[in-house]
Every structure is written in C-alpha cells, then in structure tokens.
Chains A and B, each alone.
Chain A
Amino acid sequence: MTYEELLTQTALADDNLVVMTAENRALVRNLPGILGKRFIDTGITEQTMIGAAAGLALRGRVPVVHALAAFLTMRAFEFVRTDVGIANLPVKLSGFIPGFLSDANGPTHQAIEDISIMRGIPNLTVFAPADEDDLLKMLPAIWDAPQPAYTRINTRKTTHEHAPFEWGKAEVISIGSDVTILTYGLMFEQALVTVEMLKNEGLSVGLINMRSLKPVDEQVILQAVALSNMVVTLEDHFVTGGLYTIVAEVLLKHRATANVLPVALEEKWFRPALLNEVLNYEGFTGKQIAEKILGYQTLGNQPEIKINEFAE
C-alpha cells in the first residue's frame, strides 16, 4: 500500500475527510478524479489553504493538507498557530520532502526547523515516520484523532517491518548497554547501518524509532539513559529544537543526567545535492555516524543510498 492508496481508502470510508493541496500533487495525483469536490486545490497559497482548512474543520470536516514541509510549516506558520492551533481543530498537515529529503532543492526548501516550530504550538501533535511502512502504520491513528497534527511525510521504502503504532509511544528496535541511538524519520535507515557497524565493533547497541515526537515517549528516553553509557540523538534537523532538545527537556524535567551525543545540523543549512551526496557530504551516512560515535575509522562498508522518488 502507498500513502495515496491509504488516503484514498480512508477518504472513501469517511465522507468528512477532505484532501487539500497548495498545488503540490506529488502524493495525491489520482485523488481529484476519485474524490471530486472533496479534493480541494487552492493553488500556490499555503496560508489561505490552512485558513480554509480551519473553516472546513469548523463545519465538521477533517482536512488532510499537503504542501512542501518548508512552506507548510514556515510560510503558513502563523495560520497554523492561529487558525488551527488556537482553535484546536482536527487539521492534518502532511509536510513532504522534509529534512534531507529536499536534497538538491536548496535552503529555501529545507524543512530542518519544522519539528521545533510545530511542536511549539499548543494542541498540535508531531509525528515523524521512519519510512513508508511506519508512515502507513501511524496515519490511521493520526487522522482519527481529534487534535491537529503535523506529519513529516516520508515515503521511502525500507526492508524494516515496523511494530504497530501507539500514540505517544516510541518503537524500541533493540536495547543495548553501550550506546542507544534515538532517531526519527529518514535517519532511521542510516541508523540501521550504524547499529550493525557498532555491533561488529563489539558494542552492545540499542536503537529506538521515536516516531511520535509530540506527545513524546518520556519513559523510553529515561530507560535509554538508564541502560546505556551513551545516548545518541540522530536527526536531519537543526540541533536546536528537535530531538536533542526534547531529550534535554525530558532529562531536566526528571532531574536526570546523561552522556548525550547530538548528531544533527549545526547552525547552517545543508549543502544541496542528490540525497546520497548530501548524506555523505554532511556526515550523516550510517558509517560516518558510527565513526562519530566510536571516535575512530571503521572498516565497515556503507551500503548504497537509494535516490529519492521525486523532487519538487
């Protein structure tokens, strides 16, 4: 099943669901013909689309709203905060090509502060699936919930089969006493590589797919800190406001301390190129992450990174 197929199936089963886009149809190409009037394209108007989604939600609709993550969360930010957040309406934001997935588009298209700003809005929930399987497992719960939500859309295919989604819960892939990697979204793929390399170096390694960033699974963070000598937060997001910050907040709240290594983007936008080159240039391949954690070069091999399905 694909994102579009799940959306189609859900929309056909629920007359209240409307699909909206600001002329970004990559994920919803076939829906106009299927949904008729329940497919609303407002043109290149992210702000108006969000306001209109709020109006539709006032009338009992559940709008699933599509735009590039950068414009959905930033250009329309005050509309999300004011029309959706304050009103606490069930508008479902689908932001696509977030993080490194905007690969060669350049800094205008880089949503690498989206987690930070979306989780700052009261009432808004925030989700970041590791891949398409994870995405499809979480969307039914997200669309069904009464709250507004931002989902960092990631339709990349991996071979990992994820556990069923639980609201506010992380997915524990493995537990380890030396290092635990906490991650979300696209970086999950590379984290799998990192884990293998660290295990080959003789380390006991844990891996957690955070998936629900707000509400966040505080217990899983505290458990990782308690069980491992070191915790790594791995994300294609600025180091400020994302998972590293979330972990810091949770630790402070529970008066815990930990040895935490952030792997995130520092105070700069990333260098645009195709995804495999971006990951390599910015030091986010599984092998490079393993080496950061170990502090020395490994003999491991970095598997090939597949190119994006589409570019906007």
Chain B
Amino acid sequence: MNNNYQKHQLEAIALNVREHIIRMSTDGGCFIGASLSAVDLIVYLYTEFLNINADNLESPDRDYLFLSKGHDVPALYGTLAELGLLEKKRLQNHLSIHDHIYWHPNTKIPGIEFHSGSLGHLPSVAIGVAMDIKMRGGENKVVCILGDGELNEGTCWEAMLVANAYQLDNLIFVVDRNQFQANIRTEELIPLEPLTDKFEAFGAAVKRINGHSFDALHEAFGAYPFHPGKFNVVIADTMRGKGLPSIQERADRWFCNFSANEIDQLLLELHGNHTTQLTSETLIVR
C-alpha cells in the first residue's frame, strides 16, 4: 500500500463536498442521503485514482467515470467544483433553468461523461468504452459507480456477463453499498447478499471495503488491476447520509428539501456534535 497520498487533504475535500451537498438540499432539494454515501468514493477516485482533470477532458487517453446511480450527482458536482472542473459559484444555480445543475447527471457539466437517471444503463455504456480502449490498446481506466438498489435492474447483470466474456480488466464497477433502495432497505425488499459471491460467480475480481475509509479505498484501488482478464468490482460498504447523524440510515431521508434554517443547523451538525432537530414539512419521499 502506498502511503504517499494525502489523507488529510482528501478528508478536507470530502468535508467541503458534504457542505456543497447540504447547501443543494434546499430550494427544491436533492437526493442528499444517496449523495452523502458516495462522497468519499467519488472524492477518492478523482483525487487519487482517475486521470481526469480540467486539462484532459477532450483527450481520449483520460480515464472515465460513469455515474450510473445518478442520484448521487450532487457529490460529483461538489467534487468537480472542489477540483476546479466546475466553477464553484455555479453550484448556487442548482435546479435553475439557467444552468444545467439538476437532479441527474448530464454532459453539459464539464467532467460528466454521460447522462444517467434511468438505472441499469451505464454498466453497458461503460462496457462499450472499455471495449474500445482495449481494441485500441489503451491503458485508460473506466469506473462505473452503481447503487446497490440499482442492482435490481436486470441489465446490470446482463452487462456483467458481457464484461466477463470480453475480459474487461480495465473496467471497475464500484457499488455504493449503502443498504438502501429508494425508500426501503435492500435486504428487506430485494435482498442482495451474499453480494461478493454473486459478482465472483459472474467472473469478477471483487474487493469489499469500508467505503468511508480512505485507507481502505487506497489499498483496494492500489491493487488495480485486481486480476488479469477479470473485470473489477469494489463493493464499498457505506452509510446513507454519512456525516449527518440526524439523517443517517433513515429510510425517510432519501430526497430532502430543507428549510434555510435547517440547512444552517445541518452545516453546524456536519462540523460539530449536536444533532439537528428536523421539523421541515417539505420532506418529500418520491
């Protein structure tokens, strides 16, 4: 394991991204729970693993990140803003008709490779990109972030069959395993475990880690490619709403639209120890 990475720097960026997400969860709201679970993954991937930056977006030799689980796009907006790919002030345009910062990823935002929102689509798009890289003899990596609830979609598994057949060892599926579908726990509705066994049975080289530990992420991704000829899967065990005890792991805190006062309280909660008393009547379960 390489310890040259700046863990405290990653933690500082992740904290800023969480702030951005909280600020986006008002005036219309956002999928805050799903975004907060993916923050550390996305920050780690952009900062340490992927060769994607403001200068190489037009280059076919850059790496690719596909956000199939589109609800976590505020985490991506925040990360792109922190890394200078997206102007920070544009985050204030969240949900504005005059910008493109909305509830699902779209390619009008620099750094976003493909739109998503309909689940189970980007595994196959990522496969096409990974196939082409292989065909051209390229070295670039393709990461596709999936939600665990998203794994209900049959096309995820269809794509795994093809990734296995084409030995796409340049492709990494990262599962944000926050244990929730939209409104219900995965294991209560459509159980997924034993998830490692499932992916392995499909031919993947799998690592299962704590998705909020930069050390664990660094160790796992440091071992890429996990096994020659096998596509890679990282199951990142995460927590919905990570960083905000008042919404953590709550089924009714998937999509939230907080009042301005609650946003202030949540920002304090993020940095301190007290738990916000949420009273907003505008909470929406979609």
A residues bordering B, Cβ < 8 Å? 37-38, 40, 42-43, 45, 47-61, 63, 78-79, 82-83, 86-87
Known: A51-B155, A52-B125, A52-B128. A59 touches B60 (CB 8 A): yes
Would B131 and A55 count as touching, CB distance under 8 A? yes
Which residues of chain A come closer than 8 Å to B114, judged between CB atoms?
Answer: 54, 58, 83, 87
Which residues of chain B come closer than 8 Å to A54, judged between CB atoms?
Answer: 114, 124-125, 128
Residue from A49, A55, A58 whose CB has the most chain B CB atoms within 10 Å: A55
Interface stretch (choices B75-83, B88-96, B159-167): B159-167
Q: Measured between C-beta atoms, what is the minimum distance from A215 to chain B in Å?
A: 25
Known: A56-B128, A56-B129, A58-B129. A51 touches B135 (CB 8 A): no
Q: Cα distance A54–B128 when bound, in Å?
A: 7
Choose among A38, A40, A59, A78 the residue that contacts B129 (Cβ–Cβ < 8 A): A59
Interface assignment of B241: CB less than 8 Å from any CB of chain A:
no
Q: Measured between C-beta atoms, what is the minimum distance from B154 to chain A in Å?
A: 8
Closest residue of chain A to B154 (Cβ to Cβ) is: A47
Would B132 and A48 count as touching, CB distance under 8 A? no
Q: Cα distance A60–B60 when bound, in Å?
A: 9
Q: Cα distance A251–B125 when bound, in Å?
A: 40
Would A58 and B128 count as touching, CB distance under 8 A? yes
Choose among A45, A56, A60 the residue that contacts B131 (Cβ–Cβ < 8 A): A56
List 29 A-B pairs, Cβ < 8 Å.
A37-B135, A43-B165, A45-B161, A47-B155, A48-B124, A48-B127, A48-B158, A48-B159, A48-B161, A49-B124, A51-B122, A51-B124, A52-B127, A52-B162, A54-B114, A54-B124, A55-B127, A58-B113, A58-B129, A59-B128, A59-B129, A59-B136, A60-B132, A63-B128, A82-B115, A82-B121, A83-B125, A86-B115, A87-B107
Which residues of chain B come closer than 8 Å to A48, judged between CB atoms?
Answer: 123-124, 127, 155, 158-159, 161-162
Q: Measured between C-beta atoms, what is the minimum distance from B107 to chain A in Å?
A: 8
Choose among B107, B128, B165 the residue that contacts A51 (Cβ–Cβ < 8 A): B128
Would A50 and B124 count as touching, CB distance under 8 A? yes
Which 7 residue pairs across A and B have the least CB separation, nearest first?
A: A55-B128, A51-B124, A52-B128, A59-B132, A55-B129, A56-B128, A55-B125
Interface assignment of B133: CB less than 8 Å from any CB of chain A:
yes
Q: Measured between C-beta atoms, what is the minimum distance from B275 to chain A in Å?
A: 40
Q: Cα distance A42–B159 when bound, in Å?
A: 9
Which residues of chain A come closer than 8 Å to B133, judged between CB atoms?
Answer: 59
What is the interface of chain B mostly: helix, strand, loop, or mixed?
helix
Q: Cα distance A63–B128 when bound, in Å?
A: 10
Would A40 and B124 count as touching, CB distance under 8 A? no
Q: Cα distance A79–B128 when bound, in Å?
A: 13
Choose among B122, B134, B158 the residue that contacts A45 (Cβ–Cβ < 8 A): B158
B residues bordering A, Cβ < 8 Å? 60, 107, 113-115, 118, 121-136, 155, 158-159, 161-162, 165-166
Which residues of chain A come closer than 8 Å to B123, judged between CB atoms?
Answer: 48, 51
Would A51 and B60 count as touching, CB distance under 8 A? no
Which residues of chain B come closer than 8 Å to A38, judged between CB atoms?
Answer: 135
Which residues of chain B come closer than 8 Å to A61, judged between CB atoms?
Answer: 132
Would B132 and A47 count as touching, CB distance under 8 A? no
Would B115 and A87 count as touching, CB distance under 8 A? yes
Closest residue of chain B to A61 (Cβ to Cβ) is: B132
Q: Measured between C-beta atoms, what is the minimum distance from A130 to chain B in Å?
A: 33
Which residues of chain B come closer than 8 Å to A57, judged between CB atoms?
Answer: 128
Q: Measured between C-beta atoms, what is the minimum distance from B24 to chain A in Å?
A: 23
Would A53 and B128 count as touching, CB distance under 8 A? yes
Q: Cα distance A111–B117 when bound, in Å?
A: 28
Besides A37-B134, A45-B159, 18 new A-B residue pairs in contact (Cβ under 8 A), listed by A number: A37-B135, A40-B131, A43-B165, A45-B162, A47-B124, A48-B159, A51-B127, A52-B128, A54-B128, A55-B124, A55-B125, A55-B132, A58-B114, A78-B118, A79-B124, A82-B118, A82-B121, A86-B115
Residue from B125, B162, B166 whose CB has the most chain A CB atoms within 10 Å: B125
Q: Cα distance A37–B113 when bound, in Å?
A: 24
Residue from A51, A56, A59, A87 whose CB has the most chain B CB atoms within 10 Å: A51
Q: Measured between C-beta atoms, what is the minimum distance from A25 to chain B in Å?
A: 16
Q: Measured between C-beta atoms, what is the minimum distance from B112 to chain A in Å?
A: 12
Q: Cα distance A52–B162 when bound, in Å?
A: 10
Which residues of chain A come closer than 8 Å to B136, judged between CB atoms?
Answer: 59
Q: Cα distance A37–B162 when bound, in Å?
A: 14
Residue from B107, B134, B158 whose CB has the most chain A CB atoms within 10 Å: B158
Which residues of chain B come closer than 8 Å to A51, judged between CB atoms?
Answer: 121-125, 127-128, 155, 159
Which residues of chain A come closer than 8 Å to B132, judged between CB atoms?
Answer: 55-56, 59-61
Q: Cα distance A51–B132 when bound, in Å?
A: 13
Which residues of chain B come closer than 8 Å to A42, judged between CB atoms?
Answer: 162, 165
Which residues of chain A come closer than 8 Å to B158, judged between CB atoms?
Answer: 45, 47-48
Q: Cα distance A45–B130 when bound, in Å?
A: 17
Q: Measured between C-beta atoms, what is the minimum distance from A59 to chain B in Å?
A: 4
Q: Cα distance A151–B122 when bound, in Å?
A: 25
Q: Measured between C-beta atoms, what is the minimum distance from B169 to chain A in Å?
A: 15
Q: Cα distance A42–B165 when bound, in Å?
A: 8
Q: Cα distance A109–B159 when bound, in Å?
A: 24
Which residues of chain B come closer than 8 Å to A56, judged between CB atoms?
Answer: 128-129, 131-132
Which residues of chain B come closer than 8 Å to A58, judged between CB atoms?
Answer: 113-114, 125, 128-129
